[in-house]
Amino acid sequence: MINNQSTNNILMIRPVSFGFNEQTAGSNAFQNREADQQAVQDKALTEFDGFVKVLRENGVKVTVIDDTPQPHTPDSIFPNNWVSFHADGQVFLYPMQAENRRLERREDIISKLEDRFKINHVIDLSRFEDENKFLEGTGSMVLDRENKIAYACLSPRTDKEVFGLFCEQAGYRAVSFDAVDEHGKAIYHTNVLMCVGSKYVVICTDSIPNPHEKIEVLESLRSTQKEIIEISFEQMNRFAGNMLEVKNKTDETLIVMSKNAFEALFEEQKSTLQKYGKLVYADINTIETNGGGSARCMMAEVHLPVAE
């Protein structure tokens, strides 16, 4: 079994009631409410469809599943928080902090994927919700799949014990640390401050205040021979850390981000990234503003083996 860093199969959930989520706003400083929430859903749907179109035009296989009107799940557009799919056929389900986000976990989605992919085992960690311990998938963790290293900044949504259990069951080495924004507030998800690609890492090291933890993170990244691309707090706030490396049907590497993130990067940073893949972006401003998440959060990578 080969653990590739990126895949050409992506799962995305098309929203029916996207909007500002009161239940997540307390821990997500990236969320900002726009007044007319019906207009927000309409704009978000247009942005979502545009994003899927960009991915498909670039040769990415995208499985789109419609959200359901009931139960009300304003953040369902971010499926990478409740599920992850792995090359050994394992599927992990995760404990979510917000009660309305727990409703996003859908067995029918996993069943649909089983038509095309091989699922050997579903590991459900959602029981930790009863203990108020959370681990929100590949939002809470950034996975170096090739080297089996998982990076996680601890926060109200990322519990060290559950993180350790995932790493034990999935065979990853755990690297955990604290991270804060420029105001000293804990960063809610690791995937807003860093992105791990096959040969590069985008990271806001300014967000790691403990010098020993910063050294540990950087040494771990350097041990895998990846080029480190530093971003600033300002760039992180524009979701420049929230990228995802994917493949297309011809095995070309794409580095996917939002238009906001693309425009936040300096030319030198873009040039460095372009050594490793084609930069692909879409305008998802409404989704970013109201949801507090960006391009990477919208894509759940399907690394499962293809069914024979």
CA 29 – CA 181 distance, rounded (Å): 9
Q: State the first-to-last Cα distance of the chain, in angstroms, to the nearest integer.
A: 15
- pLDDT digit string, tens, across residues 190-214: 999 999 999 999 999 999 999 999 9
C-alpha 46/C-alpha 55 separation (Å) is 14
At residue 25, the pLDDT reads 43
**Rounded percentage of the chain residues whose pLDDT exceeds 70:** 93
Please confirm whether the linkage preceding 71 is cis (ω < 30° from 0). yes
For 43-99, the pLDDT digits (tens) are 899 999 999 999 999 999 999 999 998 888 888 999 999 999 999 999 999 999 998
Report the DSSP pairing between strands 61-66 and 9-14. parallel
Q: In Å, how far from its chain's centre is CA 247? A: 16
pTM: 0.94
Predicted pLDDT at 33: 53
Q: Give the pLDDT band of residue 34 (cuts 50, 70, 90).
A: low
Amino acid at the residue 16: V
